[in-house]
Amino acid sequence: MINYEISFIIEESLDGGFEAKAIGHAIFTQAETIEEIKESIKEAVHCHFEDDDMPMTIRLVFLKEEVVAA
């Protein structure tokens, strides 16, 4: 088994909820809540990789955009 991690960038969706995109892999998923997006990411990773290529950890990077008055 390969010992590496996969990273996802998580952003709030314009339509509500969250979108997650894997870095370096063609994996994308979305969900309504943070807990749901975490579970959706796990499911997507398990669907994308074979058992012998499965990453050991999943890193979640949350991006949040804010606008501040000048």
The whole-angstrom separation of Cα 22 and Cα 2 is 18
Helix (H, G, I), strand (E, B) or coil at 34: helix
Helix or strand holding residue 30 (H, E): strand 28-31
Phi, psi (rounded to 5 degrees) for 8: -125, 140
pLDDT at 35: 98
What is the value of pTM for the model shown? 0.87
What pLDDT tens digit does each residue of the chain (70 aa) get? 556 999 999 999 989 999 999 999 999 999 999 999 999 999 999 999 998 899 999 999 999 888 899 9
The whole-angstrom separation of Cα 49 and Cα 53 is 6
- CB-side exposure of 41: number of CA atoms within 13 Å? 26
pLDDT at 65: 84
